[in-house]
Structure 1
Amino acid sequence: MGEGAVILVRRGDVAIIEIDNKPVNALSTIVRQGILDALTFVKQHSEITAAIIHGKHGRFIAGADIKELASPLESPSLPDVISAIDALDPPVIAAIDGAALGGGLEIALACDLRIASSRSFVGLPETRLGLIPGAGGTQRLPRLIGIPTAEALIASGDVLPAKVARDLGLIDQLADDPLESAIAVARAVTKRRLSKSSVPQGRSDQIARLGFSLSSAHPSEPAVAAARSLVRAASLLPFDEGLQRERQTFLALRESPETQALIHLFLASKAAFKSAQSPKEVARKVSSIVVIGKGRRAHAIAALLARPGLSVHIGYDRISDADVVIDVSTDRGARSSFRKIDAAAKIGAVIASSRSRNVDLMAEWSNRARDVIGLNFRRLSVGSPLVEVVPGSATSPETIDIVLAIVKATSAQAVVTRVPGVVGERISKACRDRSEELRHQKACPTRAIAAALRYFGFSKPAPYLPGRSGHHPERRLLDDLIAAMAREGSALVGEGIISRTSDIDLVLVHGYGFPRIEGGPMWATNSRAATAVQAFDNERRSRAIDRNASSSGDGAPYANAS
């Protein structure tokens, strides 16, 4: 039955619902409709004793189609599909190979048994996009693994490898071939609806007990707070009421500017890893990296690069075998260090420097200009630091691709730029210069300006002083400073320092701590600041008319900011 993204095949009295929506089996409208049609077929054929949902080609379901989040919702919705799974009389098995994320995991939670390969990974990462699971995730997951563990997993948005998920009880079985294993046990499976289950009591956070650490959630973000509240409500509310509250919250968050900003950053991140000048060939595989340098910075860079399981060493001992060599030496010793590396590295190895701003000068010191590239690491202590990738005029597209692939595997954020550091420096300076103008004009309290600079990541966080001023940066002040940053960002693009405005947003968010819920200065200017400034202008004009004093504006719009 069916063609294209979803098909149904029969193995005797077992129905197999196969999802084939390349590249990642996203839950686009055609997939949701296809699954629902297949479930309707199963319901109408009483001879079918069990159904299996699985993804073809080593993929299960990697969540929603992000592009659809910016458009009006189309039917059938994911809750419609999951409701049909839950209502089906024959048992349903999720045969998971690859990613079961977001809506994909919510589909698996609606099934009666979950079998996964050891290659699989699962999670509900919606909070990273300013959303919550909106198809039962906040209500079914705590009924399976308990409130504390479900709350931690949903709030962090982290992904668990299959073995950890199995140890938590989220996955029932591990198998080399989940589909064949599901077929083998299908006739013995009984219905086990989480919608009819109660929340297990007395469970602590089991993830920490298993030695798997989760990312710190952002408690100030609306989605995180909402997710925590909904998970806790699972033990207090009837399932259907909890489901209704979850859906209402999801739909409200979906339209929020914070969520739209986070979706922007997600799409910007994907675009940043695509080299515009890259050839179609896949970059050669990298298995070993050597970092040349001393001190904490060299060790921090090595630790970052080791995240995906690469062999990383510090020092010259293994340089002749390395696929990538990164020089972290001081500027004073950069030339001699670089020439030593050039002489010792094997043919075809990528040679990078994390210090020099002049990649073309480094290439002159080398006999392999095509393999030379600059790297600039910022905020190495955070989960997703920034790595500015700086090609020289002779750097090959393959070298750029190799470096981008490495950075992507570490979960850091890469951005290609012509000169390292200059984007953040100039935008930070533009913000500070504008704040000084406002300070000298006495247009805004000093403590409010200080709070705004902390909010943008341009000064170290500090406890707020008592009193009204400075507790919360004033929105109009924030929009004014964001506009100054955006003007400088536009100049940087015009000068060819960086190619995309969205890359500027990534630099500020990942490299300087600019708040994610603002989406970056370029995004915030386009989506929020213009509206806020217009509203302020309307308010000021209205007040002027009311006072019959059209000349009362004194050029100090933030004089009463607190």
Structure 2
Amino acid sequence: MAQYSRVSGSVCLITLQNPPVNALSAAVRQGIVDTVKRALNDSKVKSVVICGQNGVFCGGADIKEFGTNMSGPPLIPMIHAIEAANKPVVAAIEGSALGGGLELALGCHYRVAHSKAILGLPEVTLGLLPAAGGSQRLPRLIGVPAALNLITTGRHVTAAEALQLGIVDQVTDHSSVDTAVKFALSVAGQSLDSRRISTYPCPRPSDLDALFEEAMQKVRQSARGAIAPVACVQAVRAAATLPYTQGMEQEKELMATLFTSGQARAMQYCFFAQRAVGRWSMPSGARWDTSKPRPVLKAAVIGLGTMGRGIAVSLAQTGLSVVAVETQERQLMEAKQAVSGMLQRGAKRRGVAPALNRISYISNIQAVADVDLVIEAVFEDMALKEKVFQQLSAICKPGTLLCTNTSALDVDHLASQTRSPELVVGMHFFAPAHVMKLLEVVYGSRSSPQAVATAMQLGKKMGKVSVAVGNCRGFVGNRMLKPYLEQAFFLLEEGATPELVDGALEEFGFAMGVFRMSDLSGLDVGWRVRKGDGLVEPGLESGQSARIRQGRRYSPLGDLLCEQGRFGQKTGRGWYQYDTPGGRVAKSDLWLHSFLEGYRARHDLVARRIDHQEVLERCLYVLINEGFHILEDGIAAGPEDIDVIYVFGYGWPRHRGGPMFYASMVGLAKVLERLEHYHQAHPDVPYLKPCNLLRRLVASGSPPIHRWREVIKKHHSQL
């Protein structure tokens, strides 16, 4: 809806009303059409101000209407009518003007923004482009390079940057509505010929072709197969090279292609899944989201390695008082320097004061006695963590939440080392912890709903996408990662190269393939875990038993590289070679290729030709199959949880929606058939055997992903 009122005698104030973000639903669009018409026909009205209620201008199109038969007036003619008005129309921007909201503002003759407002055209993040004239008006207003940057990335800009770019005419620290009304009074009666952006010639840089060629190259590189950023470049090119009406036609055609694409469906699914994961109950049926979280004002981090430092930064930036504990004096001093640098860089980026005084660095664990919550981030070693939890249980005040940042260890076992196991939860951050958006909140069998609610809320305050998951080896993300990595090793044994495997996965949309990622994080990390699991048997490399461990197929390739001191980027050698230790550019390594040939010869393995399709099916379908096991075991509440974890924590391409969504797009019957095929070919790999839940879903007619929960529920009720 849109409310009509007259202020200051001759100014009509139109207020958009559709909480929480005043999205442009059918009712709102109808309200704008009706009130604008009324204002233009009212002889007492000399100018118009459009604003939004509750301090938000407009968050854009109503995404809930996507995929439905959209009723109500279309957006484009509505914006054209505003631009064609013979009375000045001023947009009063508070809160946010995003997507269709900014396109509405660009149709107005003037724009006044509050200093804390944010503006942007984020459609590309939903697999779309700004298709209500945004791709045509913005380049005409601020020039091609700046418009390309905003439209192809979907990034938000502050009011100050918007003023600098020329998107808004004025920025105020006071009420944007009051300022806009004064502004509207001052321009009443003036000619509007120079204020209609669609009539502006688009500024054409002299090297237009080179500019677009470079933009297209950059976008293709960063988009990794996503089609929306490419379409955005094409739409802006239309603005720069065609008259406005033809540019609008081009925008419409490009949007039609995107709107019906699987990629747009995947990205919109991601959008809703991200919002939904914070609201769902545990698979066990207990609800944490109705429990009142405990207040957390003071927190502690134990262990200031890479992970602990990032967690301390995240907590301090949230406004908490932080006690950072590191018992090694030298490590403590290094951490203090590193954390201060991270806080300063982060503050500079966000334009705020660094939270340096919020952290106290202490070498004695007794200092955590009065905190509300502790996050343990010591080395991933069960004996060490047991000791820490025993100490914390003795030192902390009653009611203190004890959280572990373990990436795979048993949360229930750690809880058993304390007096109050109900206060123990996992908070599994992803490196670098102050940058990565994902947080797996792991609840043990005795974790109280209130403890889970507190950890979830703290994650949200830190700007994380928090997902509640059950307790098992590796939780959700790392449990699924294990078979994925193993398949990559097996492919090398059978004839693939690291370049082939990584190439297929990067072409699919991952920023890095398995082996480049392994070199970046360090091969020794997985080696340590495998040693702890009793899988590493040094000296057996030449014997056949080296390829069987604990009764199943095992590849010792990673162990053999580590025995050679090849730990990845840190040593300058891993699956690839690097110019120097710590170098970032992965180069093909002839030594590695001849090492693989020698390994195959010793084990009588005949190399065969492996194509990209097999790489994708072997690696991705085992990961998906493990996802079905996780749903079957009740470790994740639904497929959306798994998909959010993989998109935000493991670099799964957003335009493919997440592993479980991807399985539904490929077709569950196809995934089942290929898993059966590979399991027959490799009977010594148990996790290639299709999960019973996958079979049940196929037998149920492969229902759409939002209906899987019904089948899962039925499955659990029959157990």
TM normalised by structure 1 equals 0.81
Match of 1:459 among 514, 538, 545: 514
SS in 2 for 1:164: helix
Q: Give the residue type in structure 2 aligned to 1:74.
A: S
Quick check: 2:115–2:171 contact (8 Å CA) kept in 1? no
1:396 corresponds to: 448
1:496-522 per-residue CA deviation (whole Å, 9 max, x = no partner) reads: 111111111122222222222221221
On the 8 A contact 1:131/1:253 being kept in 2, the answer is yes
Name the structure 2 match of 1:296: 306
The CA distance in 1 between the partners of 2:3 and 2:296, in whole Å, is 38
Decide whether aligned partners of structure 1 residues 58 and 311 sit closer, same or farther in structure 2, where only a CA change above 3 A counts. farther
Q: Which amino acid aligns with 2:251?
A: E
Q: Distance in 2 between matches of 1:41 and 1:49?
A: 12
How far, CA to CA, are the matches of 2:11 and 2:482 in structure 1?
65
1:250 partnered with 2:301: no
Give percent identity, aligned residues only.
33
Does residue 99 of structure 2 align to residue 96 of structure 1?
no
**Where does structure 1 lack aligned partners over 5 or more consecutive residues?**
205-215, 537-553, 557-562
Q: Counterparts of 2:256 and 2:146 in 1: how far apart (Å)? A: 25
Write the letter of the residue equivalent to 2:197. Answer: L
- Matched residues in 2 for 1:133 and 1:383: separation? 28
Shift of 1:131: 1.0
- Report how far residue 367 of structure 1 moved: 4.2
Are 2:175 and 1:177 aligned?
yes
The 5 A counterparts of 1:431-510 are 431=484, 449=501, 451-453=503-505, 455=508, 459-461=514-516, 473-474=612-613, 478=616, 482-510=620-648
Q: Which moved more, 1:500-509 or 1:398-407?
A: 398-407
Q: Distance in 2 between matches of 1:348 and 1:379?
A: 29
Residue in structure 2 matched with residue 231 of structure 1 by the alignment: 236
Query: Contact between 1:51 and 1:92, CA under 8 Å: does it hold in 2?
Result: yes
Q: 2:272 aligns with which of 259, 267, 270?
A: 267
- Give the secondary structure class of the aligned counterpart of 2:66: helix
Contact 1:219 1:225 in 2 (8 A): no
Tell me the C-alpha RMSD between the 2 structures: 3.7
Matched, 1:7 2:59: no
Could you tell me how far 1:383 is from its partner in structure 2? 5.3
2:163 corresponding residue in structure 1: 166
Pairing of 1:55-454 with structure 2 (within 5 A): 55-171=52-168, 172-189=170-187, 190=190, 191=192, 192-200=195-203, 218=223, 220-276=225-281, 277-278=287-288, 280=290, 283=293, 286-306=296-316, 308=318, 312=322, 314-315=324-325, 317=362, 319=368, 322-330=371-379, 331=381, 332-345=383-396, 348-355=399-406, 357-380=409-432, 384-419=436-471, 421-431=474-484, 449=501, 451-453=503-505
Q: C-alpha distance in 2, partners of 1:526/1:28?
A: 29
Distance 1:282 1:116 in 2: 37
* Native 8 Å contact 2:488 2:514 kept in 1: no
Question: 1:102·1:126 contact (CA, 8 Å) conserved in 2?
Answer: yes
| Aligned counterparts of 1:23 and 1:77: Cα–Cα separation in 2 | 22
Letter in 2 for 1:163: A
Distance 1:440 1:338, change over 3 A: closer
How far did residue 112 of structure 1 move? 1.8
Aligned CA distance change for structure 1 residues 89 and 507 (closer, same or farther; 3 Å): same
What is the Cα deviation at residue 459 of structure 1?
A: 0.3
One-letter amino acid of the counterpart of residue 634, structure 2: G
Q: CA deviation at 1:31?
A: 1.4
Q: CA 1:333 to 1:535, structure 2 compared with 1: closer, same or farther past 3 Å?
A: closer
Q: Higher helix fraction: Structure 1 or Structure 2?
A: 2
1:273 partner SS: helix
1:29 to 26, 29, 43: 26
The answer to whether the 8 A contact 2:429-2:440 is kept is yes
> How many Å separate the matches in 2 of 1:178 and 1:342?
52
* Partner SS, residue 612 of structure 2: coil
Q: Distance in 2 between matches of 1:533 and 1:328?
A: 38
What is the CA–CA distance in structure 1 between the aligned matches of 2:323 and 2:289, rounded to whole Å?
30
Deviations 1:252-271 (A, max 9, x none): 11111111111111111111
Q: What's the offset of the Cα at 1:155?
A: 1.7
Relative to 1, partners in 2 of residues 1:460 and 1:289: Cα closer, same or farther, differing over 3 Å? farther
Structure 2 partner of 1:208: none
Residue 616 of structure 2 aligns with an amino acid whose one-letter code is L
Amino acid at match of 1:267: F
**Alignment partners' CA distance in 1, 2:669 and 2:246:** 36
Shift of 1:289: 3.8
Q: Deviations over 1:415-445 (max 9, x none)?
A: 2111363423443344466678889999x99
The DSSP-based 3-state class of the residue aligned with 1:9 is strand
1:353-407 Cα shifts (integer Å, max 9, x gaps): 1027333333344444444321112243795442211123343334333332333
**Aligned partners of 1:433 and 1:329: how far apart in 2?**
27
Contact 2:131 2:251 in 1 (8 A): yes
Could you tell me whether the CA contact under 8 Å between 1:383 and 1:411 is conserved in 2?
no
Larger displacement relative to structure 2 (85-94 or 406-415): 406-415
8 Å CA contact 1:482–1:525 kept in 2: the answer is no
Query: Which whole-Å CA distance do the structure 1 matches of 2:297 and 2:162 have between them?
Result: 28
Distance 2:456 2:289 in 1: 14
Alignment partners' CA distance in 1, 2:611 and 2:226 = 15
Deviation of 1:320 after TM superposition, in Å, equals 5.3
Q: 1:370 to 1:435 in 2, by over 3 A?
A: closer
- The number of aligned residues is 519
* TM-score between both structures, scaled by the size of structure 2: 0.64
Is the contact between residue 386 and residue 511 of structure 1 (CA under 8 Å) also seen in structure 2?
A: yes
